[in-house]
Chain A
């Protein structure tokens, strides 16, 4: 029962109802009582006036002829007026002449008297009224009569009014309760159900629930209907959203699969091309080698020069094919991370480079202690490409410098390969890592244009970044990161 709960609308309505009825009733009670008491008083005064007049008229001869008995018998007629508690006739000299008491207890000493010029006067104290009236006969004052009216009637009326008001108030309360239960049916119950539905929706995000329609058709049913329609729209939109998302995902999956397939085919194709090219090339190289070293046929100088160029060509083509295969492998080979000492790896590569070209004077600097969790084979290829690159572009210098190092940064360890070689135009820095893009002429620095692209791809496969800084003639710095989050 939420009739009294001030947090419910029904409770509020009940309280309001009772407050209004109670106030109205109280005001009515006070107003009616005041009016009734006023009327009663006026009636009492008027009746006292009449009675005083009658008593006065009947007291003329008793006063004239000094007959107290007659005066008292006149007064005794007042017993028919229950409101008169006490009466007294005083003679002209102010002495009591005859007295009447309603009961033995009623007693009064007159403390007020009519002034000589007053014919009639009344005094009231509380609910008591004292009426004084002059007795005259033929223009001569004989005495006065005083009547005291009591308050019994006034008290009785107040009580009756109170009782009646209490009855009406309880009736109003019953009506208020009845009205509230009606309101509950018509207003509060549908509202409560609506509120419950809204709560379910907001808490469980379940848009399939519906608020029950109230029986009556009014603003409430309109509200419930609108609410339900809103839910329906939300549900429809939700469904459409999910459908389109599902479709999108399906399409993405489809496209990815297609792309992966195409990529694989492409890689398989380039791999097989590179691989299959190797056989015939080796054949050509072998024959060229045989021709060069044949003792039976003496080749002319021109021939031997051509032969040399042929061998050189096959070497370059072999290198290109290797690079292509490396690039292909860098993309497709699975990543197997193991702890690798990069410093040692760099040192080995540089020592090999030095051993391959002993004429060059290159100052080599390798910072020790560069460790990383990487795929050793792939990182080896990347590092080789970067160091080869540095070796190649410092080849024209008398005093070349190549450094492998690393530094700790907030984002992680940054490894770098630094040289003081030919450098590059920073405007084209973004082209450096694209396959077959070269910033230098083949005649200046020979190359396949695949090395940096391969390195970049390997770093990318490790989840790292690679970037280059440099200027023409002032060397270059290739930096890269190899982030490793301890997977699983």
Chain B
């Protein structure tokens, strides 16, 4: 580059003023990722806050393959199976939200078969040995299974949270997804830390 290496900043008085205003708003907008109603200033969201947001966001990048949609369900249900490590944060995030024009509901359920009617189910790591049974119980139901339990994908789970340093990431088992009518958006797959199995033939 023949030009000077340092690019000059843009010293326009009005813009600078605007910039500082944007900064002030930026602090408030910190919570836009986790849009809490009446958000209180919090320096850093906790791990489960992030996971709650992810659970909600997964719903936006999944759909059912053509023709087999179960559009009769009025609500988009995010279920928590077993012990709930997330708490009210998820309820706060999803309040008054909708996905594909379906109101988002958060359900806490006790047994796996009840989860068949959910769209997304989060299986707590505390389920332990019961995890395989839960997955088996769900069978080929069109439910996106999510857990932060290690080896979740190996047991046939679809999305597993993994921690990379401070960052919450997720891995995907496409084979598990392909057994159902669910299709995950390639955009979602793009940001997955790893993807197991063959990618679906039908690309969104």
Contacts and interface: CB of A to CB of B under 8 A. Distances in A.
B12 A112 contact: yes
Given A65-B169, A128-B8, A93 B27 contact: yes
Given A61-B191, A92-B26, A130-B10, A105 B21 contact: no
B12 A93 contact: no
Interface string B140-165: 00000000000000000000000000
B168 A106 contact: no
A152 B22 contact: no
A169 B147 CA distance: 76
A141 B26 contact: no
A111 B30 contact: no
Contacts of A102: 1
A142 B35 CA distance: 11
Given A61-B61, A70-B190, A112-B12, A151 B29 contact: no
A125 B8 contact: yes
Contact of A111 (B15, B25, B170): B15
Given A108-B7, A150-B3, A141 B29 contact: yes
Contacts of B25: 116
Interface in B13-47: 15-16, 18-19, 21-23, 25-27, 29-30, 32-33, 35
B183 to A, nearest CB: 15
Nearest to B98: A138
B198 to A, nearest CB: 21
B188 A61 contact: yes
A62 B189 CA distance: 10
A140 B31 CA distance: 11
B18 A112 contact: yes
B60 interface: yes
A103 B54 contact: no
Interface string B180-204: 0000010110110000000000000
A142 B191 CA distance: 15
Count chain B CB atoms within 10 A of each CB in A91, A102, A151 and give the residue with the most: A91
Interface in A109-131: 109-116, 123, 125-126, 128, 130
Contacts of A137: 60
A462 interface: no
Contact of B168 (A63, A66, A151): A66
B96 interface: no
Interface in A84-106: 85-86, 91-94, 102-103, 105-106
A125 B12 CA distance: 9
Interface string A54-66: 0000001111111
Contacts of B187: 60-61
Contacts of B168: 66
B69 to A, nearest CB: 20
B131 to A, nearest CB: 23
Contacts of A126: 8
B72 interface: no
Interface residues of A, number: 43
Interface in A68-96: 70, 85-86, 91-94
B3 A148 contact: no
Nearest to A115: B18
Contact of B57 (A65, A106, A114, A130): A65
Nearest to B61: A61
A82 to B, nearest CB: 10
Contacts of A138: 60
B5 A93 contact: no
B195 to A, nearest CB: 13
B169 A151 contact: no
Nearest to B18: A115
Contact of A151 (B3, B61, B190): B3
B67 interface: no
A116 B30 contact: no
Given A65-B170, A92-B29, A108 B5 contact: no
Contacts of B30: 92-93
B22 A85 contact: no
Contacts of A469: none
Name the 4 nearest CB pairs between A and B, nearest first.
Answer: A94-B26, A105-B5, A111-B9, A113-B22
12 contacts: A61-B61, A66-B169, A92-B26, A93-B27, A94-B22, A94-B27, A111-B11, A111-B15, A115-B18, A123-B15, A150-B1, A152-B3
Given A94-B22, A152-B3, 19 more contacts: A61-B191, A62-B191, A64-B57, A65-B188, A70-B191, A85-B7, A86-B7, A94-B29, A106-B5, A111-B9, A111-B10, A111-B15, A111-B19, A112-B9, A112-B10, A113-B23, A116-B29, A141-B29, A151-B3
